[in-house]
Structure 1
Amino acid sequence: MARIDELQVRLKAPGYNYFTLLGLTLTATQKEIEAAYRQLSEELSSARLASLGQNEAARRGQAIAQQLQRAFQVLSDYSKRGEYEKRGYKEFIPPDAKEDTVEFAKTLHRKALTLFNQGNFQKAIIAIEEAIRQNPSKAEFYLLLGLCQSEFPPMKRQAEQNLLKAVEIEPWNAEHVAALGMLFYSVRLWKRAEVYFRKTLELEPNHDLARKKLAEITGPEKKFTDQLKEKGEKLLKKVLPSLFNREKH
């Protein structure tokens, strides 16, 4: 369903808030808010979502419909809207709810990790994306998302961005850097892979994977040079055999 995909993009967009979710500006009037919500809620009605069956699109649609309802509840109430604007367009979450959110994110991460290990990368992506939405401060969440996305050629660029985010949060963690090296290694971008494997070894000199892959990248070049040298010596021996024979005496 195209509308679900569109709203999913809005939810993940930089600067997301209830106004952008409804497709409105921050200066939207009450009538505009009501009209936007009415249209979207009709498109994501229970009947329409039920027609999709029990698939992932239906589940995402239900989650988005709940978020739309919450957005409308806040923006249609002058008092709540005022508080929302004062908080910089961020929803108020009580301390205990924040704790629940963090724990929920951990649970989703464990679920995504299990799915990843089972090779179910698409479902793992859905779970870890939700974990990031619940708690966007964890480097290991972005690492896992990047690893999942790297399994799909069209998502390699997104994988790079998420792995870079993991490095940004934990620049001291060699595993995040090594994952970037493996990403470029998988698409045969040897020079870029080499850079990240060298950075990995700077952070963790005994990192076996980085050392092995770096040797695979640089090793053939050295062997090729040695082969050229050997071929050159053989050619010289054929062309100037007397010179080499003299050296023996």
Structure 2
Amino acid sequence: MYAFLHDRARVLHGLGERLRSDGALVIITPTAGNTPEERRGIALDEDEIALVRSGWETTERHDADGLAVLILRGPCHADAVAVEKGPTAGRALSGALAVVADASGRVLLGRSRHGMLELPGGKNEPGEDFARAAVRELVEETGLVAGPEDAHVLSLLLDACHGVPRITAVVRITAWTGVLANGEPQLFGRWEWYDLHALACAGPVFTPAAHALACVWSGIIPGLPPVTAYPLAVGQPPVPG
């Protein structure tokens, strides 16, 4: 059943919280390398298997007859902590992050190849404002489509990354269409909708994304490093959730 779940991180987190101290979760799945192309949707590839095994105290893998047997033990969560990527060659950084929620109030986050959770977003192109940058990055990375009129800049965040000044625009997306997909698999392993109450134990979160989430839902991730925030969106539509 696991290959057919859309919100795998949420389900694993919930199951991990319900295990006894000596309990184990066992997942048996076909592997993509042993599955015909037309049936690949029933199988997990190696990147997905690595995501399944992350966050557990101990994991075992056994392979037999084209199947992977994963045995997971220990709590499936870790305290959320803000982390950075490697140093940049630029003299300054500016970009926009899109905060998107579904009808159930869950927020969209991607598990990046850097081993952390991130919001959709990235650097704005020359002459591109923050709202349009957030909308562009959203469709490029996730397949979800929003118009500039649905993108509201809530705040500008000022901090530094490895000594380089950084400005991040927090852009709230209030309406969108489309089907969630992974448009840049070289950068992200998977996009999922995350329950807000689970974010405090979501493990590593990219620092600007953690600050952006806190702009929308105050206190959602505790213990964040310092940042200077300049709220902008006075009188904009209220944020659900």
Under a length normalisation based on structure 2, what TM-score does the superposition of the two structures give?
0.31
Instruction: Tell which has more relative contact order, 1 or 2 (C-alpha 8 A, sep 6+).
Output: 2
Q: Which has the higher helix share?
A: 1
Q: Which has the higher strand share?
A: 2
Question: Which protein has the larger Cα radius of gyration, Structure 1 or Structure 2?
Answer: 1
Under a length normalisation based on structure 1, what TM-score does the superposition of the two structures give?
0.30
